[in-house]
Chain A
Amino acid sequence: MTANKKPVLEVRGLSKTYGSTTAVDSISFEVRPNEIVGLLGPNGAGKTTTINMILGVLEPTEGSVTIETKDVLHERSEALERTNFAAVYSPLPGNLTVSQNLRVFGLLYDVPDLEQRIEQLFQEFELEQFKDTRCGVLSSGEQTRVSLAKATLNNPHLLLLDEPTASLDPSTAQIIRGKIRTYAAGGEGGVLWTSHNMYEVTDVCDRVLFLSHGKILLQGDPKTLPKEYGKKNLEELFITVAREPLLLESM
């Protein structure tokens, strides 16, 4: 069903080189509305570099990123109005309270009826009791919920999640996954998700892209892809991608 919809994200021939090092090597992919796409790969494969280029904080050496017809390089602000992100390495300022952070970022994303939207997010992410608490004193799980509340403030059509459940206990991670699934199913948004938890990826993602040495090595349905390559599960496939990428390329 999502295949018929226009993509919310189109990445075409995207590359990033630092001197003689190629971090991302001419990758192309799309994310469609209501679709959750997993961007997988071992450490240093180029996942975060790709996300940074999509977010416009890193200029590609070649290629383009288009978010709903807006080119990120030339129409950065317009493209990012319909985008948002949460990353484990980019928490919200710990010296502001939850409601202050949401208000500041709500203004930055020009969210209409901001106060109402913030109240809605308090309910949705069970943050009511923490609204006047500084983010820096919240637990990892609570901070992740705040980050996700910020990431969905503007009802983005493209939601980027870089290891959103890292450092969360299994119970909290399951709740967060549920919220993201509900988000993707409910509106017009597509999600690009990176994770090292293959169980989670199998459970949540509609499609996965395996990155290795900056290239997309494999892609497909996380539930059927391992069998196509003679592997028991996604974790086993991941390990092969990390250790023997050439073997998979030859297949």
Chain B
Amino acid sequence: MNFKRVYAIFLRQIYLVRGTATRFFQIFIWITVDITLWGFITKYLTGTAGAGFNFVPVFLGAVLLWDFSTNVMQGVTMLFFEDVWSRNFLNIFASPLKISEYVGGLILSGIVRSILALIVMFLLAMFFFGFSIFSFGISLAGFLLILFFFGIALGIIGVSIVLRLGPAAEWLIWPIPALLSPFVGVLYPLSVLPGWMQFIGQSLPPSYVFTGIREIVDGGTFPASTFFWGLVAALIYIVLAYMIFVKVYKKAVQTGLIARYSAETVT
């Protein structure tokens, strides 16, 4: 792997974000809305429920972590969409860039974007609602790792869908986190879901994170086995996502889709 090429893909995103205020603020707008909304909801619920239960870590903490994963995914997909929007496929894929280097660049973008988003979410939650994600202790690192890997996998799958189906498939990608959120139990335990939903939820790594959060809030210790299985599942997702992308890319080279991408000739 040539790291200069990975950096080239990332550098392009830096130039774009630096050059347009829209792209920069887009990173923070939805997380600000989410943290504000759920901050006030949890404040209200904690006030009405009395001293028995603290909703803040369960709701606000979970929403914050889910938004982190969503941001990782968006960091990966946005960079790919920039190539779609600027019709840059031929320039990019007719260069010596390898698929692993391209995906590496997308991941690097996901890392930086999610770190920026995490810092802003942390500051908002801390200063406006008195909640620190560090209250999860050492578990936080494990939770973030699982959600980060899952966000990467989702991003790569999203990119594969758009590469396969064409630019118009972009609208399919944005709602993916919202569609998955009921299954992973961001705000409730999986046990409240019907059997088939629980089954899907258990196959999704973030559900281990949110189960872990509830274990800690209930006074438990670091849920090592939950973390372990969540991490294993997230890594499997990344490997599968990468395999899907490579397969879709190879198919696109066979059919000529890469060369004529904007024509949406292959369905």
Residues of A within 8 A of B (CB): 18, 48-49, 52, 55-59, 76-78, 80-81, 85, 87, 89-97, 100, 103-105, 107-110, 150
Contact = CB atoms under 8 A, between A and B. Distances in A.
B93 interface: yes
A135 B7 CA distance: 21
A57 B95 contact: no
B90 A58 contact: no
B86 A94 contact: yes
B94 A55 contact: yes
A110 B4 contact: yes
Nearest to A61: B254
A108 B16 contact: no
| Tier of interface size on chain B | 20 to 34
15 contacts: A57-B94, A57-B259, A59-B250, A59-B253, A59-B254, A77-B96, A90-B87, A90-B90, A93-B86, A95-B20, A95-B86, A96-B12, A96-B15, A97-B15, A110-B4
Nearest to A87: B90
B184 interface: no
A107 B86 contact: no
B41 interface: no
A57 to B, nearest CB: 5
Interface in B1-32: 2, 4-5, 7-8, 11-12, 15-16, 19-20
Interface string B88-109: 1111111111100000000000
Most buried by A among B12, B16, B95, B250: B95
A81 B4 CA distance: 13
B86 A104 contact: no
Given A78-B96, A85-B94, A93 B254 contact: no
B236 to A, nearest CB: 28
Interface of B: 2, 4-5, 7-8, 11-12, 15-16, 19-20, 82, 86-98, 250, 253-254, 256, 258-259
Contacts of A91: 87
Given A58-B258, A59-B254, A107 B90 contact: no
A150 B16 CA distance: 19
Most buried by B among A55, A89, A96, A107: A107
Contacts of A97: 15
B16 A96 contact: yes
Contacts of A94: 86
Contacts of B89: 57
